[in-house]
């Protein structure tokens, strides 16, 4: 197994993707730059320090404001509001299902993309990445034009009595559409980082392709896959634009947490704040989790 | 060096674009208006521009969304709401010039259906049929509030039965934050029926949607108030706009869109 951990080390340095963004500080531990003039050095440091403080305040202030706008007890009271409970339940359920779908379908796609080349691979890879760049509102109207009752495919589905738009299924479809690249990109780099020599060794020792995948490749890539799945889950939880256009906005059926914030803000602000605080707490948890998961890989070096 | 040049070029481009976008529009009238007035106020705004030479910038959205925006600091000269509730909320916050408030039009709710009427709806009792796709507003947007009042009235009527209200609400597939989204979903054929204003079935939409009127005994009268904002930098011009809306020509436009000018 020494060979195994060796490759994990090699791989860890090339690991990139979204988890990489979160764990950036592990890369650039270069030496301090020494400038000839000491005074200029201090001025530069002070300037950079000020910039950093400003940037941190810019992000921290709005987050803090969420907690300070209303007294916390009245926000906590909003936790019992059916709007909050329905949105929480729906968001967790749909995002979980989405993550399962994305992992099951995305893992083989990511592996193929990392290991094999086939005609049209460039095009396929670009298509897979497209939803990251595509504005969610565009995704929403595109999904509606495809799967709506009058849509390209929805037209045929509805003649079989299947309707997708404005159902919970539409919420999941929208989430899969926007969050799949977050997993696939991360999984692709994780697979690329697995040393091909290990794969070949397992195959020459008589392991089947499937066995090699599950017993050799998957364990090495696991942390990367997990953090990719968490990022996809987080993206699904935050999905707004595509959902409201393709799935509509109905409490308990299609009104996920971001939609509930949008709707409640025009009525009961405390409800909107309550859901926002839950989502902020969740975002923090995601960052910590991804950090811990990817750091374990780094620690092995 | 090439990299630096690239960097400078990109920075210059971004600056130029943002300077263009940031050009100030000081001399225009900002009107926050209920989404149901999109057509009518669009025309009246054109009249106003032709006469005064002052441009009008409209923000059409659900009255509750506009109220939220104004409450949180959005600048407007004139606010036109589709119900008194949102206007009163802003009066309560002290943001409205109280003496300028005037109800200028009345509207009614109607059922709006796609032209080919895929669900075969021809009466109010059809709304309770299981599997029907209904769109309406959220409880906060005036058009949703009015729709809920109508469903309550119908539910209290013995002819429709005790389960009517629950059955209708169970058919709702989406609650939209302004009436234009309700109309769009029906016009696209994605919903079987929607609760919208009688004024929403415009000439432009006549080939896409039909309406089913709701009898007056169950209907509600939607009152539209408008007012000048306390912070308006153009109170005189705002008053001119209000006057134009209430002039014979303004009334003519409103009537053509199905409103009853007050």
DSSP string, B185-208: HHHTTSSSEEEEEGGGS-GGGTTT
Of the pLDDT bands very low, low, confident and very high (cuts 50, 70, 90), residue A21 is low
Structure tokens at A94: 């749909």
Residue A163 lies in a domain: yes
State the Cα–Cα distance between residues A88 and A278, nearest whole angstrom: 9
Judged by CB atoms closer than 8 Å, whether chains meet at A263 and B177 is answered as yes
Mean pLDDT of the region A40-55: 93
The whole-angstrom distance between B107's CA and the closest CA on chain A is 22
The whole-angstrom distance between A41's CA and the closest CA on chain B is 23
Residue scoring higher pLDDT (A102 or A18): A102
Mean of pLDDT over chain A: 86
Residue A221 lies in a domain: yes
For residue A265, list chain B residues with Cβ-Cβ distance below 8 A.
Answer: 68
Beta bridge partners of B105: B224, B261
- Whether pLDDT at A147 is above 90: yes
Of the pLDDT bands very low, low, confident and very high (cuts 50, 70, 90), residue A301 is very low
Chain A residue with minimum CA distance to B70: A266
pLDDT reported for residue A265: 84
Report yes or no: A169 and A176 within 8 Å, Cβ to Cβ: no
Domain span at residue A260 reads 78-299
- Whether pLDDT at B25 is above 60: no
Report yes or no: A102 and A233 within 8 Å, Cβ to Cβ: no
pLDDT reported for residue A7: 42
Q: Does B191 touch chain A (CB under 8 A)?
A: yes
Q: What is the dihedral angle through the alpha carbons of A19, A25, A31, A35, rounded to the nearest 10 degrees?
A: 120
Residue A51 lies in a domain: no
Judged by CB atoms closer than 8 Å, whether chains meet at B172 and A250 is answered as yes
Structure tokens at B237: 């011009």
Structure tokens at A5: 């951990």
Residue A103 lies in a domain: yes
Residue A10 lies in a domain: no
Of the pLDDT bands very low, low, confident and very high (cuts 50, 70, 90), residue B161 is confident
- Whether pLDDT at A12 is above 50: no
Beta bridge partners of B96: B229
State the Cα–Cα distance between residues A166 and A148, nearest whole angstrom: 9
The number of C-beta contacts closer than 8 angstroms across A and B is 57
State the Cα–Cα distance between residues A57 and B145, nearest whole angstrom: 41
ipTM higher than the 0.85 cut: no
The whole-angstrom distance between A231's CA and the closest CA on chain B is 28
Of the pLDDT bands very low, low, confident and very high (cuts 50, 70, 90), residue A32 is low
Beta bridge partners of B79: B32, B227
Of the pLDDT bands very low, low, confident and very high (cuts 50, 70, 90), residue A18 is low
pLDDT digits (tens, 9 = 90+) for A80-113: 999 999 999 999 999 999 999 999 999 999 999 9
pLDDT reported for residue B247: 96
Q: What is the dihedral angle through the alpha carbons of A36, A39, A41, A43, rounded to the nearest 10 degrees?
A: -150
Which one of B62, B136, B138, B140 makes the best mutation probe of the A interface by having the most chain A beta carbons within 10 Å? B138
pLDDT reported for residue A1: 36
A166 → closest Cβ in B64, B133, B138: B133
Of the pLDDT bands very low, low, confident and very high (cuts 50, 70, 90), residue A39 is confident
Residue A138 lies in a domain: yes
Report yes or no: A229 and A103 within 8 Å, Cβ to Cβ: yes
pLDDT digits (tens, 9 = 90+) for A173-221: 999 999 999 999 999 999 999 998 988 999 899 899 899 999 999 999 9
Domain count, chain A: 1
pLDDT more than 90, % of chain A: 60
The CATH number covering residue A116 comes to 1.10.3720.10
Mean pLDDT of the region A223-235: 94
Residue scoring higher pLDDT (A301 or B203): B203
- Flag the least confident range among A12-26, B13-27, B68-82: A12-26
Judged by CB atoms closer than 8 Å, whether chains meet at A266 and B68 is answered as yes
Q: Does B190 touch chain A (CB under 8 A)?
A: yes
Q: Does A17 touch chain B (CB under 8 A)?
A: no
Judged by CB atoms closer than 8 Å, whether chains meet at B190 and A144 is answered as yes
Q: Does A165 touch chain B (CB under 8 A)?
A: yes
Q: Does B186 touch chain A (CB under 8 A)?
A: no
Q: Does A140 touch chain B (CB under 8 A)?
A: no
Mean pLDDT of the region A215-232: 93
Domains in chain B, start-ordered, CATH in brackets? 5-106+224-261 (3.40.190.10), 107-221 (3.40.190.10)
């Amino acid at each position: 197994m020494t060979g195994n951990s060796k490759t994990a080390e090699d791989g860890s340095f090339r690991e990139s993707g979204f988890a990489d963004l979160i764990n950036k500080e592990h890369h650039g531990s270069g030496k301090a730059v020494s400038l000839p003039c000491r005074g200029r050095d201090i001025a530069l440091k002070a300037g950079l320090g000020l910039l950093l403080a400003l940037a941190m305040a810019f992000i921290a202030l709005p987050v803090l404001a969420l907690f300070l706008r209303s007294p916390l007890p009245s926000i906590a009271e909003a936790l019992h509001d059916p709007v909050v409970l329905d949105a929480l339940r729906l968001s967790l359920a749909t995002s979980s299902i989405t993550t399962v779908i994305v992992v099951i379908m995305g893992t083989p796609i990511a592996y193929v993309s990392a290991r094999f080349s086939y005609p049209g691979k460039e095009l396929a890879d670009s298509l897979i990445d497209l939803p990251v760049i595509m504005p969610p509102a565009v995704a929403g109207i595109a999904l509606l034009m495809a799967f709506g009752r009058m849509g390209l495919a929805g037209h045929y589905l509805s003649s079989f009595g299947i309707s997708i738009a404005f159902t919970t299924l539409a919420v999941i479809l929208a989430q899969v559409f926007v969050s799949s690249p977050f997993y696939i990109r991360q999984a692709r780099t994780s697979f690329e980082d697995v040393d091909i020599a290990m794969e070949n060794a397992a195959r020459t020792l008589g392991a089947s392709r499937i066995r090699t995948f599950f017993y050799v490749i998957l364990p090495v890539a696991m942390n990367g896959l997990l953090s990719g799945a968490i990022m996809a889950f987080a993206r699904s939880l935050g999905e707004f634009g595509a959902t409201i256009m393709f799935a509509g906005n109905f409490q308990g059926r299609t009104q996920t947490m971001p939609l509930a914030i949008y709707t409640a803000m025009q009525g009961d602000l405390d409800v909107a704040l309550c859901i926002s605080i839950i989502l902020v707490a969740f975002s923090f948890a995601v960052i910590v989790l991804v950090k811990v998961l990817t750091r374990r890989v780094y620690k092995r070096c | 060096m090439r990299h630096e040049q690239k960097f400078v070029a990109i920075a210059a481009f971004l600056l130029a674009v943002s300077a263009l976008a940031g050009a100030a529009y000081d001399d225009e009238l900002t009107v926050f208006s209920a989404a149901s007035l999109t057509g009518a106020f669009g025309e009246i705004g054109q009249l106003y521009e032709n006469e005064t030479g002052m441009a009008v910038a409209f923000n059409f959205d659900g009255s509750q969304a506009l109220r939220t925006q104004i409450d949180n600091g959005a600048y407007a000269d004139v606010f036109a709401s589709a119900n008194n509730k949102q206007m009163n909320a802003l009066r309560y916050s002290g943001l409205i010039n109280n003496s300028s408030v005037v109800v200028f039009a009345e509207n009614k709710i109607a059922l709006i259906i796609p032209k080919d009427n895929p669900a075969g709806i021809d009466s109010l009792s059809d709304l309770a049929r299981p599997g029907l796709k209904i769109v309406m507003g959220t409880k906060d947007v005036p058009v949703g509030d009015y729709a809920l009042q109508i469903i309550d009235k119908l539910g209290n009527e013995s002819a429709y039965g005790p389960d009517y209200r629950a059955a209708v609400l169970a058919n709702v597939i989406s609650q939209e934050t302004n009436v234009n989204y309700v109309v769009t979903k029906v016009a696209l054929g994605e919903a079987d029926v929607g609760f919208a204003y009688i004024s929403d079935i415009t000439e432009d939409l006549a080939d896409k949607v039909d309406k089913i009127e709701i009898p007056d005994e169950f209907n509600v009268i939607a009152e539209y108030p408008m007012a000048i904002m306390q912070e308006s930098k153009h109170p005189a011009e705002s008053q001119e706009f209000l006057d134009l809306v209430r002039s014979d020509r303004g009334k003519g436009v409103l009537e053509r869109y199905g409103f009853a000018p007050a």
